[in-house]
Amino acid sequence: MEYVRVGNIVNTFGLKGEVKVKSYTDFEDIRFKVTQQLYIKYLNVFEPVVIKTYRVYKGYILISFFDKQDINLVEKYKGCDIFIKKDDVHTLSEGVYYFFELQDCSVYYNNQKIGYVSSVEDGYQTILRINTENKEVLIPFVDEFIKEVNIATKRIDIDVIEGML
């Protein structure tokens, strides 16, 4: 079974089993809704959990799980990633991609491979972090620079301005 990372447990919160989560999804209200099943990767095993409570606090998501309503039951999860089943990921409209789909794509400029996408960062705009042979390059994920994306072949063709590479 394949999984998609949607967050990371950065700490516990309070004594009643809440955990503080850094989100890696644009669909927080869907991924972290009450009764949603998630998987915590703990000691290389994907443990299923079901969300009992959800709230946002100071830029973090606070969630608790059924059957884990005590800090002593969730403390071991600090630093663990949270996943959903890949089958639970819905298809997006054409030209819109999940970050995990762009991760590890080969990047081509003038039909020559220059590197691969090591990570996708979201902020003011989406940025591709590309590892080349000798350095790391940041390319905004906008139409001016991204010419074609082919998820099936894991290939992204770019066009850049002078000095960008």
Residues 136 and 80 in one domain: no
Task: Please say which residue of 59, 88, 117 terminates a domain.
Answer: 88
Distance of CA 142 to the CA centre of its chain: 19
Per the domain annotation, does 29 fall within a domain?
A: yes
pLDDT attached to residue 134:
86
Task: Please say which residue of 26, 53, 88 terminates a domain.
Answer: 88
Residue 83's DSSP bridge partners are: 5, 39
Domain count across the chain: 2
Residues 8 and 83 in one domain: yes
CATH code of the domain covering residue 9? 2.40.30.60
> What's the domain range around 105?
99-158
Residues 63 and 109 in one domain: no
pLDDT at position 60 over 90? no
Q: Are 57 and 63 in contact (CB under 8 A)?
A: no
pLDDT digits (tens, 9 = 90+) for 127-165: 899 998 888 999 998 889 999 999 889 999 998 877 676
pLDDT attached to residue 86:
83
Spatial separation of the C-alpha atoms in residues 145 and 18, rounded to whole Å: 42
Residues 122 and 75 in one domain: no
pLDDT at position 13 over 90? yes
Nearest C-alpha neighbor of 46 from the set 1, 8, 6, 78: 1
